Amino acid sequence: EKSNVPYDIIGEEQLSELVDVFYSRVSQHPDLAPIFPDDLTETARKQKQFLTQFLGGPPLYTEEHGHPMLRARHLPFTITPVRAEAWLTCMKAAMDDVQLNGELRSFFFERLTQTAHHMVNRPDDEG
């Protein structure tokens, strides 16, 4: 029987590729690079865990780090509307790179858009 769980559709391998390509774009984006660590290995590892559970897969992030509380975990960083759009632009390009298409892409991107907007904690002029 075919699973309707988004994580089962994308799979571990494509999700992992997506996150790696995404952070290589983040590290080169002028609006994002300044707030991220130089070494994104650990960031990417946590993001793979988080997105696994975000898409209905096993709760890998929570098992290791506790409740995500994503907005609280982002408060130490200045996240302006411009940075949220930059984040989403990198994600869209990463989805192109790994050829994530179709219904899963639109569903996933829509949920990421909502979450990214929820992370905004400063107006643009304070960025």
Binding site for ligand HEM (CB under 6 A): 32, 35-37, 42-43, 46-47, 50, 65, 70, 73-74, 77, 79, 83-84, 87, 112, 115-116, 119
Q: Which CB, 74 or 97, lies closer to ligand HEM?
A: 74
Closer Cβ to ligand HEM, 101 or 117, answer by number: 117
* Rounded Cα gap, residues 67 and 59, in angstroms: 10
Q: Are 21 and 98 in contact (CB under 8 A)?
A: yes
CB 37, min distance to ligand HEM, A: 5
- Nearest residue (CB) to ligand HEM, 1 versus 90: 90
